[in-house]
A and B are shown apart, each in its own frame.
Chain A
Amino acid sequence: MIKSPHVFVFIMFALATLIGFLLDLIGVQEANLIMVYILAVIIIAIYTHSYRVMIYSPFVVVALFNFFFTEPRYTFSTEDNQYPFTFAMMFLITIISTSMTIRFKNQIELNELLVEEKQAIQLRAHTEQLRATILKSISHDVRTPLMSISGTLETALINKKLSDSTRDTLLSGAYEDSLWMIRMIENILAVTKIQDERLTINADIESVDDIVVDVIRRFDKHRKNRHVLTEIPERVLMVRGDPNLIVQVLMNLLENAVKHAKEGGDIVLSVKAEADEVVFSVEDDGPGVSSLDLPHMFELFYTGHGDGSRGLGLGLAICKSILEAHDSQLTYSTSRFQGAKFTFKLALIEEAANE
């Protein structure tokens, strides 16, 4: 790029003069040569941001035209008494076209700024709304398990004569509740993380193996008496994404599956390659999603009909927004056991050549 606007101005005027000479040689009238200079000035106005250039350009144009193309040539004097009028007109046209160009340019910049600002405001409003809803749900639904935990501990502290079995029942209930709260708070944190980093998801390239290994290990204490089976392909598949968030999606889907699977039933986490995509799915052997719940199940805080278990309706909604941040989506179908099956796809990254 040319650094100084003055160098650019010099080049443009030299070019205009050169073209002027060429046109003059083939007998083009001098009135038309003026157009070449005006064109040069407009180009200068578009590509430079210096007001000084805009101010001196009209003078230079008139001077150059006078010097090179009016009789007597190569002097600043003129023979024809028409010329002062021509010069004045030329001066005016140059000034007007320059200032019009500048205004036009400013207008465009202003518009761009306005659009950006509007988008920022919209994003902020959206984030604010989500935060408010989450806050509402925390104050509303988190109290129950917290009550159970603090109540249990209080009882255990005060009543010295509780039988061991009563104490065990009480404490294991509180323990379950605390685990539930931990999972839920992780989900809430995930949402705020996506909201904060909507545009800069902490993406890395991970192997499907690492993701599945991490999920299976973390999920072990949540699986109750269900069997979690895994199916991963022989070929090593790589995907791009925030590994912690993808693990979170799978944890939520597995947790859902545990909630709905039969006692001692089977849950399958399977991953396979399909064309240039990696397909993750979680299937259970439960009753599947009822037709009443189907249209709403991905909504935030939707808890479903006749679903006796506790839940904030956060899980699937969070999966959905995590996947959206990864340009993916969650879909529902019927599983191989006639239960629920949730599926999402991520782009397959071509693996590096082995050794």
Chain B
Amino acid sequence: MNEKILVIEDDSSIHNLLDITLTHHDYDVLKSKTLKEGVALFTLHRPALVLLDLGLPDGDGLDFIQMVRTIDATPIVVISARGQDKSKIQALDMGADDYLTKPFSTGELLARIRVSLRHQQRMSNLTEESILKVKELEIDIEKHIVKVQDELIKLTPIEFKLLTHLARHAGKVLVHRELIKEVWGEFYQENHSLRVFMANLRRKIERDPSNPQYILTEIGIGYKMSDE
């Protein structure tokens, strides 16, 4: 059975484009142009993923994220206009998985959808794996061992914590604040050292740190472990 994707977007052309592209790639598309209809379709059909435009005529897309997150962890990919970093961060903070900035290519869209669906599947396998694998990166959580292409990598405890958190959420954009909270705790304010740790981590696990295969930068927003 095809996976259902709920598209909540009020602009007709983009709406049609998404519909045609997704149908062509064997997804079942549920369409909505308003927040209200979106909520109804969501509760009725329980789609595998939601594509959500933040600026809707009858309300704020952020409310939708909040509503969904009280029910379950259905992946939500936010569609937003350029320059709305604040609302992007807010959406990710509230539980959105990823975002696409208009204008985006359909290739980009399909890749994000694949990654988010995979992430969802991994998270629903509730058994906490003791070995995390992302492409050729292998993390043995119990033994504190990290390998890339079977080569042992020496990491500091903080680097290990960061890498594990990223790998566990591969495909999801993690905002700076969330990563800082995870590693240094709730009350740590400064996010300058996070950047330094990430850069050092990249130097250890990436073949080319300026064109990374694992840790991607979402500039001004956060980081994402790529598994494609």
Mark A residues whose CB is within 8 Å of B: 182, 186, 189, 193, 202, 204-214, 216-217, 221, 230, 232, 234, 236, 238, 243-244, 247, 349, 351-352, 354-355
Contacts and interface: CB of A to CB of B under 8 A. Distances in A.
Interface residues of B, number: 29
B196 A207 contact: yes
B192 interface: yes
A349 B193 CA distance: 12
A75 B82 CA distance: 81
A9 B103 CA distance: 67
Top 6 nearest A-B pairs by Cβ distance?
A230-B210, A207-B195, A209-B199, A236-B199, A214-B219, A210-B217
B195 A216 contact: no
Contacts of A216: 210-211
A355 B195 contact: no
Given A209-B198, A355-B158, A182 B212 contact: no
Contacts, number: 81
Contacts of B195: 205-207, 209-210, 236, 238
B140 to A, nearest CB: 22
Given A234-B203, A243-B219, A355-B156, A213 B211 contact: yes
Most chain-A Cβ atoms within 10 A of its Cβ — which of B103, B199, B200? B199
Contacts of A217: 211, 216-217
A2 B38 CA distance: 61
Contacts of B156: 354-355
Contact of B198 (A186, A210, A244): A210
Interface in B193-228: 193, 195-200, 202-203, 208-212, 216-220
A211 B82 CA distance: 17
21 contacts: A189-B82, A202-B220, A204-B220, A208-B199, A209-B210, A213-B211, A213-B217, A214-B217, A221-B105, A232-B210, A236-B195, A236-B196, A236-B200, A238-B196, A243-B219, A244-B85, A351-B192, A351-B196, A352-B192, A354-B197, A354-B200
Contact of A244 (B158, B208, B219): B219
Nearest to B223: A210
A247 B217 CA distance: 12
Nearest to A204: B220
Nearest to A220: B211
A247 B219 CA distance: 9
Contacts of A193: 83
Contacts of B83: 189, 193, 244
Contact of A230 (B190, B203, B211): B211
Contact of A209 (B85, B193, B202): B202
B196 A354 contact: yes
A163 to B, nearest CB: 22
Contacts of A207: 195-196, 198-199
Given A204-B220, A244-B219, 19 more contacts: A202-B220, A205-B192, A206-B195, A207-B199, A209-B198, A209-B202, A210-B198, A210-B217, A213-B209, A213-B210, A213-B211, A213-B212, A217-B211, A230-B211, A232-B210, A236-B200, A238-B195, A243-B220, A244-B220
Most A C-beta atoms less than 10 A away, residue of B83, B105, B158, B220: B220
